[in-house]
Amino acid sequence: MLPAALANLHEHTGLITRTETVAGRLLLWSIASLMLLWHEVTLLMPVALALVMIFPQQRRLLLSIVAVAVLAERFLGVPGMSWMYIAAGVLAGIVCLYVFFRWVQQFERWPGVARRHPLILLHIGIWIALILSTNPWFGILGLVPFMAWRLSYMVMQGSRGKLAGTKFTDHLFYMFPVYGGTATPYGKGMEYLSRHEALDATAFARSQLAGIKLLVLSAVWFFLLDLMNLVFFGASVPYLTLWPETWALDLPRVNRVLADGLDAGGIQGWALIYLELIRATLSLAAKGHIIVGCLRLLGFNVFRNTYKPLLAQSILEFWNRFYYYFKELMVEFFFYPTYLKLRNISPSARMFTAIFTAAFLGNMYHHILNQPDTVTAWDPGLFWSVWGPRFVYCFLLALGVGVSMVRQQKLRQSAVEASRLVKLRRIAGVWTFYGIIQIWNIKSTEVSIADCTRFFLSLFGL
Amino acid sequence: MDQQVVRSGLVEFLRTVAIPGCSLDDIDDSINLIDAGIIDSFALIQVIFYLEQNHGCDLHALGIDPADLGSIKGILNAIQRAND
């Protein structure tokens, strides 16, 4: 997709050498900053980038200092917050986190039951905090959903005894990351980030060039997304006003079809679900590339979040490539623990149970954790209206991933290279599966399971 | 069992779960195979199964984390611990 020169930017020896010079670094910072501003990333990011480029050996300390500003920036978004409250909130947040870090560092002194189930204990604490956060006095606890998995990575590292030699500043920077992110921690925790950290000038330059590449790729995906919204869905795109209105197909989005009960069965329905899948992939890739691009610019040469999922030949491969850091979260916190504990059942049952724990239970839990008000409202009707369709989506996803995993194992054993036609058929199958299950992945309280199922049946003329 | 025999058996097995096109020839034992893009995190499940079936490793009982099985060295250490 990308021209070869851009695709291999981070492997170009001459370019890497030039990037290591003062002039090269200045030029790289200027280009990166312009691109970051264009992508509307926080202004703190170019500042952090400059600091890390001048003092790369102090990377984590500098990023931790910037993290304090990132936390303050979050409070600035709260209406009516005075400077005194912001300062008090930031101080309280950092002190709480420091106390927590010191506590996890002394993991071996925890009571036996807590040492056996540290993550369950942490998540019980998280839910208590979320219930308390409904009280204005504990409003700062509203940050907990964003930090939940970051804290989980810290506790997991502590339980492995790998937190002992680390400093608070080795962890603060990914709790309030200047490189952005969601409740899913891109770049995971410190253990993973440190494995990918550039330790010399050449590795740093290579990482930064790989970061620039992702920012460019992100811009391309955003452009394609805008073009797609204009051509297929008739959306207005300010910089594409020359496109004739009559050329826009003005198709309805799937969420509108479901919410308004529009008639969109048959071929149009199929077109809509495939378009929705492409749209979701482009959107996630474009946003994820900015975050991973920033991480790489700062010297953490981590994997992309989205890597060519539309070329995946199996459901399992798509899941692996579509949202890498979310999948890793599910695998590390749900799949492995379940799989390792279940030794006395058949291999297939063991695999399926672990998959369902990750792709169904873990997936649901993660999303509910991000909308705790649907639980703390204590209203089963509201809970079901928000999460009902997603239960179906997660169930179908888990079923698909489980079947695909068993099939993949058989295919690996046969080791026969598939023909191009077979590969295309497999890709089409993957698109169809994910296109269909996306119907139940609608974020709207106006849409019920019955609405989604009706649309699904209309695809087959029923 | 001879360490070299265990290692070559392991490498042979890893070839069957490696991502197509990735070579395990001359690979350093300490390289993280997932980070290097040679196997994915789901192939690690097959590594666990291989350790259980062929070397009687109970990772849960041994307190070994799947993350420690990312390299050939890490897997060999797990086998060593199971034998101890």
Task: State pLDDT tens for residues A139-151.
Answer: 778 889 999 999 9
Helix axes A144-159, A83-105, angle to 10 degrees: 20
Q: Which residues contact A309 (CB under 8 A, 6 or more apart)?
A: A281, A318, A321, A322
What pLDDT is recorded for position A347? 83
What pLDDT is recorded for position B18? 82
Whether A412 sits inside 8 A of B16 (CB atoms) is: yes
Q: Which residues contact A356 (CB under 8 A, 6 or more apart)?
A: A398, A402
Q: Are A234 and A248 in contact (CB under 8 A)?
A: yes
Task: Determine the Cα–Cα distance for residues A444 and A454; give it in Å rounded to an integer.
Answer: 16
Whether B45 sits inside 8 A of A340 (CB atoms) is: no
Q: Token pair for residue B6?
A: 């265990």
Q: Which amino acid is at A253?
A: R
Q: Does B32 touch chain A (CB under 8 A)?
A: yes
Q: Which residues contact A40 (CB under 8 A, 6 or more apart)?
A: none
What pLDDT is recorded for position A62? 97
Whether A332 sits inside 8 A of B67 (CB atoms) is: yes
Task: Determine the Cα–Cα distance for residues B71 and A294; give it in Å rounded to an integer.
Answer: 28
Select, from the ranges A207-221, A332-346, B16-30, B53-67, the one with the highest average predicted confidence (pLDDT).
A207-221
Please write down the HEC assignment for all residues of chain B: CCHHHHHHHHHHHHHHHCCCCCCCCCCCCCCCCCCCCCCCCCHHHHHHHHHHHHHCCCHHHHCCCHHHHCCHHHHHHHHHHHHC
Neighbours of B17 (CB within 10 A): 22
- Mean pLDDT taken over chain B: 85
CA A414 vs CA A123, A170, A198, A368, B45: distances in Å: 43, 45, 39, 41, 18
What pLDDT is recorded for position A2? 61
Q: pLDDT tier at B72 (50, 70, 90 boundaries)?
A: very high
Q: Does B58 touch chain A (CB under 8 A)?
A: yes
Q: What is the mean pLDDT of residues A181-201?
A: 94
In this predicted structure, the answer to whether residue A24 has a pLDDT above a threshold of 80 is yes
Task: Determine the Cα–Cα distance for residues B70 and A103; give it in Å rounded to an integer.
Answer: 28
Question: What does the pLDDT look like over A411-446, one tens digit per residue?
Answer: 666 656 778 899 999 999 999 999 999 999 987 778
Choose between A3 and A257: higher pLDDT: A257
Give the helix ranges, DSSP H, for A133-200.
144-159, 169-175, 190-195
What pLDDT is recorded for position B1? 64
In this predicted structure, the answer to whether residue B42 has a pLDDT above a threshold of 80 is no
Q: Token pair for residue A75?
A: 């409070």
Whether A343 sits inside 8 A of B42 (CB atoms) is: no
Whether B48 sits inside 8 A of A339 (CB atoms) is: yes
Q: Which residues contact A63 (CB under 8 A, 6 or more apart)?
A: A48, A52, A173, A178, A298
Q: Which residues of A have a CB under 8 Å from any CB of B?
A: 160, 191, 195-196, 316, 320, 327-328, 331-332, 335-336, 339-341, 343, 347, 351, 354, 405, 408-409, 412-413, 415
- ipTM value: 0.83
Nearest CA in chain B to A338: B60
Q: Which residues of B touch A413 (CB under 8 A)?
A: 16
Q: Which residues of B touch A414 (CB under 8 A)?
A: none
Q: Which residues of A touch B82 (CB under 8 A)?
A: none
Whether B35 sits inside 8 A of A332 (CB atoms) is: no
Q: Which residues of A touch B63 (CB under 8 A)?
A: none
What pLDDT is recorded for position A81? 76
Question: What does the pLDDT look like over B6-27, one tens digit per residue?
Answer: 898 999 888 888 877 777 877 8
What pLDDT is recorded for position A417? 73
For residue A263, give the 3-state DSSP assignment.
coil
For residue A300, give the 3-state DSSP assignment.
strand
What pLDDT is recorded for position B34? 85
Say which of B32, B48, B65 has its CB closest to residue A195: B32
Count of residues in chain B? 84
What pLDDT is recorded for position A406? 82
Choose between A12 and A437: higher pLDDT: A437
Q: Considering its fold, how many domains does chain B have in total? A: 1
Nearest CA in chain A to B49: A347
Domain carrying residue B54: 3-83
Q: Which residues of B touch A158 (CB under 8 A)?
A: none
Nearest to B51 by CA among B25, B83, B26: B83
Q: Token pair for residue B74?
A: 């890490």
Q: What is the mean pLDDT of residues A272-293?
A: 96
In this predicted structure, the answer to whether residue A1 has a pLDDT above a threshold of 60 is no
In this predicted structure, the answer to whether residue A80 has a pLDDT above a threshold of 80 is no
Q: Does B46 touch chain A (CB under 8 A)?
A: yes
Q: Which residues of B touch A119 (CB under 8 A)?
A: none
In this predicted structure, the answer to whether residue A53 has a pLDDT above a threshold of 80 is yes
What pLDDT is recorded for position A412? 62
Task: Determine the Cα–Cα distance for residues A117 and A76; give it in Å rounded to an integer.
Answer: 37
In this predicted structure, the answer to whether residue A43 has a pLDDT above a threshold of 70 is yes
Task: Determine the Cα–Cα distance for residues A451 and A259; give it in Å rounded to an integer.
Answer: 8
Q: What is the mean pLDDT of residues A121-141?
A: 88
Nearest C-alpha of chain A: how many angstroms from B12? 13
Q: Are A438 and A269 in contact (CB under 8 A)?
A: no
Q: Please report, for the domain that includes residue B66, its CATH number.
A: 1.10.1200
Q: Are A69 and A44 in contact (CB under 8 A)?
A: yes
Say which of B42, B45, B58 has its CB closest to residue A320: B42
Q: Token pair for residue A108?
A: 């071996």
Task: Determine the Cα–Cα distance for residues A436 and A425; give it in Å rounded to an integer.
Answer: 16
Q: pLDDT tier at A273 (50, 70, 90 boundaries)?
A: very high
Q: What is the mean pLDDT of residues A243-257?
A: 82
Count residue pairs from A and B with Cβ separation < 8 A.
Answer: 38
